[in-house]
Chain A
Amino acid sequence: MTDHADTNSPSDPDELIAYLDGEVDAEVRRQIELRLAEDPELMQRMREHQQAWDLLDELPTENASTDFTETTLEMVAVAASREVEVRSRGTAQRRFAWGGMAAASLLIAGLVGYTFASRALQRSDEELLRDLPVIENLDALQQVEDVEFLFALENEGLFVEENNNDAS
């Protein structure tokens, strides 16, 4: 880009053209018009600019043909159908991926559930095993009214022996 030392001044060529294009503010426009009134050469140059600009109207303007419109729309329709195809293919792939993820999630959930359930069952069996001497002697134990007597029996090793017998 050309740098102009006197940018925004009425003698700046860019500003003069911007004036013709109606792209200057009121103050710059006023300064340029003052200068044009005093400078016939500049006025002549600006007239030539305007004439050259007006000559562009001589360029032929051809409207687009019906064929052009039709082929353009057909081309875009083909692109649109391809887009839909790609999108639906992507949707099918996404559906497959979601299905796989759902199946994997179910599998993982099943495995986790089985693990927790088997651990809970195992814990329940252990508790039953531990309480087995009490369960076996429940009727007799219910006859005992004194808890200290039961502790005394335990200290005698009665229940331990039974547990050991059961364990073996």
Chain B
Amino acid sequence: MLQVRDDSAAAFEELVTRYQSRLLAVLQHLVPRREQAEDLAQEVFLRVYRARKRYEPQAKFSTWLFTIAHNVARNARRSQARRHEINVAGADDDGGPPAIDQMALEASGLMPTRILDKAERAEVVRLAIDALSERQRMAMLLAKFEGMSYLEIGQAMDLSLQATKSLLSRARENLRLILAPYMDEGEPPGGGSTP
């Protein structure tokens, strides 16, 4: 990034190549469509380029990158909300998870009593992630896929350490409650005990 700051085009290309998939992996779970995630990722790289002169190597570059990604995604969702588009990505508050029966129907309609295959499990997990609030989702994705510490997540999302800890605690509790019926594979979703 220091070479990018010094206007090295090759260094910027290297940076895009190295981080684009990681960035997309997070962004595609923050917005409803893949195309929108790509647009946002490009916006993030554009902002990185424009802000390159202000970069200070005090924190890890990935923390700085995901700070920008968090802001870009949040702004996109705000402008989307202003346009009153249908929000298919999930709740906006930090409340509890949606009804599991509804999740099950969304996942695969009338799912048979059998072990879910990999694609179906992926869909169930995707819906569970989407059911979390944007902030819970972001914090969880950074922890899971970027391996960020609480401190780094707090820096990226402008939260205190305690707030980050609480946010992740609620996120993981919600995820557990949503996925509980699916974790005992072979049991029909919604047919088990309600958490």
Contacts A21-B168, A64-B24, A80-B49 given; does A72 touch B173 at CB 8 Å: no
The verdict on B194 contacting chain A, using a C-beta distance below 8 Å, is no
Contacts A51-B183, A72-B16 given; does A1 touch B24 at CB 8 Å: no
Interface residues on B, range: 35 or more
The answer to whether A62 touches B180, judged by C-beta atoms less than 8 angstroms apart, is no
User: How many Å from the CB of B178 to the closest CB on chain A?
Assistant: 8
A2: which B residues are within 8 A, CB to CB?
166, 170
Contacts A76-B12, A79-B46 given; does A53 touch B150 at CB 8 Å: no
The verdict on A61 contacting chain B, using a C-beta distance below 8 Å, is yes
Contacts A56-B125, A64-B20, A68-B38 given; does A48 touch B183 at CB 8 Å: yes
Contacts A48-B180, A52-B179, A68-B20 given; does A1 touch B166 at CB 8 Å: yes
The answer to whether B49 touches A76, judged by C-beta atoms less than 8 angstroms apart, is yes
The verdict on A115 contacting chain B, using a C-beta distance below 8 Å, is no
Q: Kindly identify, within residues 43 to 97 of chain A, every residue whose CB is under 8 Å from any CB belonging to chain B.
A: 45, 48-49, 51-53, 55-56, 58-64, 68-69, 71-73, 75-77, 79-80, 83
The answer to whether B126 touches A59, judged by C-beta atoms less than 8 angstroms apart, is yes
Closest B residue to A4 by CB, please name it: B166
User: How many Å from the CB of A59 to the closest CB on chain B?
Assistant: 6
The answer to whether A75 touches B125, judged by C-beta atoms less than 8 angstroms apart, is no
Q: CA of A13 to CA of B171 in the docked complex: distance in angstroms?
A: 12
The answer to whether A18 touches B176, judged by C-beta atoms less than 8 angstroms apart, is no
Q: CA of A138 to CA of B125 in the docked complex: distance in angstroms?
A: 118
The verdict on A14 contacting chain B, using a C-beta distance below 8 Å, is yes
Q: Kindly identify, within residues 20 to 42 of chain A, every residue whose CB is under 8 Å from any CB belonging to chain B.
A: 20-21, 23
The answer to whether A61 touches B13, judged by C-beta atoms less than 8 angstroms apart, is no
The answer to whether B13 touches A1, judged by C-beta atoms less than 8 angstroms apart, is no
Give me the interface of B with A, judged by CB distance under 8 Å. Answer: 9, 12-13, 16-17, 20-21, 24-25, 28-29, 34, 38, 41-42, 45-46, 49-50, 118, 121-122, 125-126, 128-129, 140, 143-145, 149-150, 162-163, 165-170, 172-173, 175-176, 178-180, 182-183
Give me the interface of A with B, judged by CB distance under 8 Å. Answer: 1-2, 4, 7, 13-14, 16-18, 20-21, 23, 45, 48-49, 51-53, 55-56, 58-64, 68-69, 71-73, 75-77, 79-80, 83
28 contacts between A and B (CB under 8 A): A1-B162, A1-B163, A2-B170, A13-B169, A17-B165, A17-B172, A20-B172, A21-B168, A48-B176, A49-B172, A49-B173, A51-B183, A52-B183, A53-B172, A56-B125, A56-B129, A58-B121, A58-B125, A59-B29, A59-B126, A64-B41, A68-B20, A69-B16, A72-B41, A73-B12, A73-B16, A76-B46, A79-B46
